């Protein structure tokens, strides 16, 4: 090589390596500056918490995705170490005080939902996924006609049918001397309710052999995957935008979910093309009857097919596991504490003396104090959603637990920090339905459905399912625990609780009369 060219190339090499050194040094200096600023000079610097949490939101990613720890349990450890308010992200605080729950989630606040958590569900255009109060209110106002107390009273027969299908399946299991897996069975029933009530179709999940309905297994498999979506859009898009056939090959455990998604997408595109098809649905309560009615909107424009699909998915995820888990947790404690089960059965016998006679309606069940106390205690212990429901403090700032919090701070107080608070619920780990009797003020601390403008849309439907479910199951069956009997029901937080321990299996002996 001629010497002048090689000198030139060497010169370029030196320049490039200088540039690399300069860029790297600047980057490191910038990161150090950001870290120092975040720890010592940020408006939240006065709040205690792990150092890495103060520096980067990926500290949470490390805890959840790499260390594989359940974040609501991690928060318990952090609060024990740092006190009732902990900085868990550069711009995020978690509170462990029930007062904070009421300061954050109340009817006066119109705070936005936090971007990364709520985007991770891929339901951005649904009542659950809309970040702003305004968008969510518009959608919820339309859907409320299907979910109001009066609407649910009208749909009680539909719920009762699904509960009876579950009871028939329990009887079949017993006839073949097989136990029923309650972890699956109750969620099959609640999934059947949602699918029929919201979409007017029937997948008969309770009739799946041993209650192993593909959609329920697929939802179980997908919950831990959603955690990772919070931290990487790339990963989320890779999984969710995959063509259905490929997705089923790559992830056979979530194939049931893909099937149901395809069924819903097909139904939605059919209805969007020809709204006359609404008349073919078996009842008038479906979400499509509401959402596809232009008169329900101020601007007369109905949502896109994509938005309808996201709404359908939000209702499916929001309405099935939550109710099913509550019933499973209730069953676990009732069967472990026969004195409570006896008392519940005695109360049910008063309104339903003979199985050949007329069965009680929800209205009558509402007046049974012990049944309602059992349901509240089951809701308390299962807690509904166990992850913090992240909210963004408005620009003007807010006062939480008597502390001034700057605008744009992400805040939350997990429901378990209310439901397991010793001062409000003494011996919080113990199932004590009687704590709810003659104590209406305690209802202020039952926050399973959350509070404020973003509280649960399906609360009336959930209560209807729970009352009918508990009444029919415990009036019609004598249940006994089947080995292996779990000592507890351990869960991990995946927004909803994800129960990973031994499943609750029971023998379901039908009562004679
Ligand atoms: C025991 C049963 C249930 C529990 C414990 C429960 C709990 C909750 C909680 C805690 C939230 C607030 C979520 C957040 O702020 O991000 C919520 C919202 C919601 N729930 Fe439920 N839920 C239950 C049943 C249902 C049912 C049966 C449906 C309907 C089919 C439903 C539909 C929704 C919807 C659409 C939202 C979003 C509301 C909004 O963001 O404004 N839920 N639910």
> What are the DSSP calls for 267-335, one per residue?
HHHHHHH-GGGGGGSS-TTSHHHHHT-GGGSTT--PPPHHHHHHHHHHHHHHHSHHHHHHHHHHHHHHH
Say how many Å lie between the CA of residue 389 and the centre of ligand 1: 11
Q: Whose CA is nearest to atom 20 of ligand 1?
A: 456
Q: What is the dihedral of CA 151, 194, 389, 118, to 10 degrees?
A: -110
Looking at the domain assignment, is residue 81 inside a domain?
no
The ligand 1 atom at the shortest distance from the C-alpha of residue 147 is: 29
Peptide bond between residue 484 and the one before it cis (omega within 30 degrees of 0): yes
In this structure, the number of other CB atoms found within 10 A of the CB of residue 281 comes to 16
Cα 187-192-198 angle, rounded to 5 deg: 120
Query: Residue 330, Cβ neighbours under 10 Å: how many?
Result: 28
* Atom of ligand 1 at shortest range from CA of 194: 30
User: The domain containing residue 435 runs over which residues?
Assistant: 91-510
Residue 4 covered by a domain = no
CA count, 13 A, side-chain hemisphere, 502:
12
Retrieve residue 142's tokens: 């339309």
What is the C-alpha separation between 73 and 322, in angstroms, rounded? 19
Closest ligand 1 atom, residue 461 Cα: 27
Edge-to-edge order in the sheet of strand 180-181? 180-181, 505-510, 477-481
Ligand 1 atom with the shortest distance to the CA of 385: 10
Distance 52 CA to ligand 1 centre (A): 32
Provide the greatest CA pair distance for the chain: 106
Determine the atom of ligand 1 nearest the C-alpha atom of 143. 35
**106, 318, 385: which to mutate for ligand 1, most atoms within 8 A of CB?**
318
Nearest CA to ligand 1 atom 11: 456
Say which CATH number the domain at 232 has.
Answer: 1.10.630.10
Most ligand 1 atoms within 8 A of CB, residue of 131, 145, 230, 458 to mutate: 458
Give residue for tokens 């509402």: 366
CB 310 within 8 Å of CB 122: yes
Interval between CA 455 and ligand 1 midpoint (Å): 7
Q: What string of pLDDT tens digits covers the 513 residues of the chain?
A: 445 555 555 667 778 888 899 999 999 999 998 898 899 999 999 999 999 999 999 999 999 999 999 999 999 999 999 999 999 999 999 999 999 999 999 999 999 999 999 999 989 999 999 999 999 999 999 999 999 999 999 999 999 999 999 999 999 999 999 999 999 999 999 999 999 999 999 999 999 999 999 889 888 888 877 888 899 888 888 777 888 888 778 777 777 778 878 888 988 999 999 989 999 998 988 999 999 999 999 889 999 999 999 999 999 999 999 999 999 999 999 999 999 999 999 999 999 999 999 999 999 999 999 999 999 999 999 988 999 999 999 999 999 999 999 999 999 999 999 999 999 999 999 999 999 999 999 999 999 999 999 999 999 999 999 999 999 999 999 999 999 999 999 999 999 999 999 999 999 999 998
In this structure, what is the dihedral angle of CA atoms 157, 161, 164, 168, given to the nearest 10 degrees? 160
| Binding residue numbers for heme | 456
Beta partners for residue 499, in sequence order: 491
Query: Which residue's CA is the nearest one to ligand 1's atom 5?
Result: 384
The residue count for the chain: 513
The reply to whether 36 falls in a domain is no
Element of type H or E holding 201? none
Taking Cα atoms as reference points, which of 448, 420, 412 lies closest to residue 100? 412
- Per-residue pLDDT, 238: 78
**Residue with CA closest to ligand 1 atom 16:** 389
Cα(10) to centroid(ligand 1), Å: 65
CA-nearest of 311, 19, 306 to 146 is 311
Beta carbons of 176 and 137 less than 8 angstroms apart? no
- Ligand 1: residues within 6 Å at CB? 127-128, 136, 140, 194, 314-315, 318-319, 322-323, 326, 384-385, 389, 448-450, 454, 456-458, 461-462
3-state helix, strand, coil in the chain (%, to 5): 60, 10, 30
**Does 443 reside within a domain?**
yes
Tally of domains in the chain = 1
């Amino acid at each position: 090589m001629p010497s002048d060219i090689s000198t030139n190339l060497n010169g370029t090499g030196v320049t490039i390596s200088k540039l690399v050194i300069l860029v790297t040094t600047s980057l490191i200096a910038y990161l150090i500056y950001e870290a120092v600023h975040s720890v010592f000079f940020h408006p939240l610097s006065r709040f205690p918490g792990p150092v890495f949490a103060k520096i980067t939101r990926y500290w949470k990613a490390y805890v959840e995705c790499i260390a594989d720890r359940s974040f609501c349990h991690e928060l318990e450890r952090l609060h024990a170490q740092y006190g009732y308010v902990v900085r868990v992200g550069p711009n995020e605080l978690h509170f462990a005080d029930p007062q904070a729950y009421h300061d954050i989630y109340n009817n006066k606040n119109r705070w936005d939902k936090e971007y990364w958590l709520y985007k991770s569900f891929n339901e951005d255009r649904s009542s659950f996924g809309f970040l702003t109060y305004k968008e969510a209110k518009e959608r919820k106002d339309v859907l409320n006609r299907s979910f109001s107390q009066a609407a649910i009273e009208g749909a009680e027969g539909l719920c009762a049918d699904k509960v009876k299908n579950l009871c028939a399946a329990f009887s079949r299991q017993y006839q073949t001397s097989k136990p029923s897996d309650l972890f699956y069975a109750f969620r099959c029933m609640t999934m059947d309710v949602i699918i029929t009530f919201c979409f007017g179709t029937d997948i008969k999940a309770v009739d799946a052999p041993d209650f192993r309905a593909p959609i329920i297994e697929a939802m179980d498999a997908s919950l831990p995957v959603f955690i990772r979506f919070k931290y990487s859009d790339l990963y989320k898009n890779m999984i969710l935008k995959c063509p259905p056939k490929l997705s089923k090959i790559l992830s056979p455990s979530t194939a049931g979910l893909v099937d149901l998604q395809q069924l819903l997408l097909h139904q939605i595109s059919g209805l969007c093309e020809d709204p006359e098809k609404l008349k073919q649905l078996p009842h008038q309560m479906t979400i499509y009857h509401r959402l596809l009615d232009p008169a329900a909107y101020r601007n007369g424009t109905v949502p896109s097919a994509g938005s309808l699909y996201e709404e359908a998915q939000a209702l499916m995820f929001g309405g099935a596991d939550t109710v099913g888990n509550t019933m499973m947790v209730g069953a676990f404690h009732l069967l472990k504490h026969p004195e409570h089960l006896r008392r519940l059965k005695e109360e049910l016998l008063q309104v339903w003396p003979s199985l050949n006679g007329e069965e009680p309606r929800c209205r009558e069940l509402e007046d049974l104090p012990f049944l309602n106390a059992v349901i509240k205690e089951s809701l308390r212990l299962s807690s509904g959603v166990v992850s913090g429901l992240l909210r963004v403090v408005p620009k003007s700032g807010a006062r939480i637990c008597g502390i001034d919090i700057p605008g744009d701070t992400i805040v939350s107080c997990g429901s378990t920090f209310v439901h397991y608070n010793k001062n409000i619920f003494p011996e919080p780990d113990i199932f004590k339905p009687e704590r709810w009797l003659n104590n209406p003020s305690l209802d202020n601390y039952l926050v399973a459905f959350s509070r404020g403008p973003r509280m649960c849309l399906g609360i009336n439907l959930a209560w209807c399912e729970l009352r009918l479910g508990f009444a029919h199951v415990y009036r019609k069956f004598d249940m006994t625990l089947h080995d292996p009997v779990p000592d507890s029901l351990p869960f991990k937080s995946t927004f909803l609780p994800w129960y990973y321990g031994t499943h609750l299996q029971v023998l379901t002996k039908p009562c004679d009369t």
